[in-house]
Amino acid sequence: MRLNARVDAIALSTTLALDARAKALAAAGRDVINMSVGEPDANAPEAVQVAAERAVRGGKVRYTPAEGTQSLRKAIAAHISATRGVEFTPAEIAVCHSAKHALSGALMALIETGDEVVMLLPAWVSYVEIVKYAGGVPVEVAPRPDLGPDLAAIERKITKKTRGLLINSPCNPSGYVLSESEVRALSALAEKHDLWIVTDEIYRRLVYEGAPNYSPVSISPAVRARTVIVDGASKAFAMTGYRIGYVAAPKDLAAAVGRLNSQLTGCPNAISQAAFEAALTTEPPEVGAMCAEFGKRRDFLIAGLKQLGLETPIPRGAFYAFPNVRPYLDARGSSGFCEDLLEQQNLAVVPGSAFGSDDYVRLSYAIAIEEIGRALDRLGAFLRTHAERPAPSGARKA
């Protein structure tokens, strides 16, 4: 069957593909440690479970408005107003099936064929594919050595065709959290070159040290008017399988995403909407506890990677470590490294190539700390059996 060219060009999500492979190997009896996919290991908070059950038993299982229930949009608007320090109304919210779906809706609503969209490397696996599917041209910009944004390099990549800037803080995969001054500088660039900003803030609550995440919408009404926030329930509320997220944006964009929903998907899942509303309105205590636990795991993993001699930028947020493994790579790059690591040590991690940064690999620390310990042992054993290759920036022995 002949496929549409744009669909045919879509790559399978590396994170999801690796997760499926790791799970299949585990089901076949292999003792696999899975640090590939990024999802919390905890169940969703009690209040979420109760609300979901109540929705099911109470028959709240019908179509809802395409842009989400009014009560959930109200709860989201109130949540954003409180956390970003700027008033949002329900009309500026469109609820979607997930943050991924919200991002797709926003990008489809914004991009005309041939529009260039600037994104910072390393960039989450789906950005390039969604932009291309929407008809846009992804323009990837290399970061500074600490994986922060290189503003001069970004400005050099802006052309007459550039329409948008896609940012993600805390960053998947590096855990880098943009500082307020970096967000201001990026927003100033967007104003100077008349670009929209899509800011993916799905890991906003998961920041372990330093200042909290800062959103462009907090800068000024003018920046807010060109900005779309993408967020959702998956990470902070451990609700990945519920599939619920949203855009918060100027009214016309939110309404456009709602119209797309009405024709393409109908409406977001009614049960998950009720569950997400409970999460936002009760602020469950489990969230803080989960975040504290992630913080401990982060410290443990970063210390372990350091002991193995791997240069690892300190991830202030999200739940990933992104060590540089360049001294250990052969011609196959990071995907060969990950292939061998899984084959020889039963440890699943994601190649940096999936994020546009082939010198690195990503390890999710959203798994039990004991598992992280075992994973470090395996990684150490793997590195010892792999001779370091000469690296330009001074390799160290494991």
Q: Which residue has the tokens 């992280």?
A: 372
Interaction pattern, residues 2-21, with ligand GLU; x per rule: CB under 6 A: -----------x-xx-----
Strands (E) across the chain are located at: 33-34, 93-96, 116-120, 137-141, 162-168, 196-200, 227-232, 245-248, 320-321, 347-348, 350-351, 361-364
Q: Which of residues 120-159 bind ligand GLU (CB under 6 A)?
A: 124-126
Nearest distance, CB of residue 98 and ligand PMP, angstroms: 3
Q: Does 245 bind ligand PMP (CB under 6 A)?
A: yes
User: Contact 45/279 with Cβ under 8 angstroms?
Assistant: yes
What is the x/- site pattern for ligand GLU, positions 369-388, by CB under 6 A? --------------------
What amino acid is encoded at 15 in this protein?
T
The answer to whether the peptide bond before residue 285 is cis (omega within 30 degrees of 0) is no
94 forms beta bridges with 247
Q: Answer yes or no whether residue 234 interacts with ligand PMP by CB under 6 A.
A: yes
Please give the torsion angle defined by the CA atoms of residues 377, 378, 380 and 381, in that order, rounded to the nearest 10 degrees.
120
- 146 exposure class (CB count in 10 Å sphere: 0-12, 13-18, 19+): exposed
**Binding residue count for ligand GLU, defined by CB under 6 A:** 11
Q: How far is the CB of 251 from ligand PMP (least distance, A)?
A: 23
Read off the tokens for 347.
């440890």
For residues 257 and 162, what is the distance between their CA atoms, to the nearest angstrom? 22
Q: ω before 170 within 30° of 0 (cis)?
A: yes
Residue span binding ligand PMP (CB under 6 A) among the ranges 5-13, 92-100, 133-141, 372-380: 92-100
Segment 75-114, which members bind ligand GLU (CB under 6 A)? 100
Tell me: does residue 246 bind ligand PMP (CB under 6 A). no
Is residue 355 close enough to count as binding ligand PMP by CB under 6 A? Answer: no
Least distance from C-beta 389 to ligand PMP, angstroms? 30
- Which residue's CB is nearer to ligand GLU, number 109 or number 123? 123
Q: Verify binding: residue 172, ligand GLU, rule CB under 6 A.
A: yes
Residue from 98, 346, 353, 364 touching ligand PMP (CB under 6 A): that is 98
Decide if residue 202 touches ligand PMP (CB under 6 A). yes
Contact assessment for residue 201 and residue 229, using Cβ atoms and an 8 Å cutoff = yes
Reported as type and span, the H/E element at residue 293 is helix 285-307
- When asked if residue 324 is in the footprint of ligand PMP (CB under 6 A), the reply is no
**Cα(363)–Cα(35) distance, integer angstroms:** 5
- Tokens in use for 82? 């409180």
Minimum distance, C-beta of residue 278 to ligand GLU, in the bound complex (Å): 23
List the one residue from 168, 169, 269, 346 that touches ligand PMP (CB under 6 A).
168
Q: What does the binding site for ligand GLU look like in residue numbers (CB under 6 A)?
A: 13, 15-16, 37-39, 100, 124-126, 172
The residue ranges that bind ligand PMP (CB under 6 A) are 38, 98-100, 124, 168, 172, 200, 202, 232, 234, 240, 245
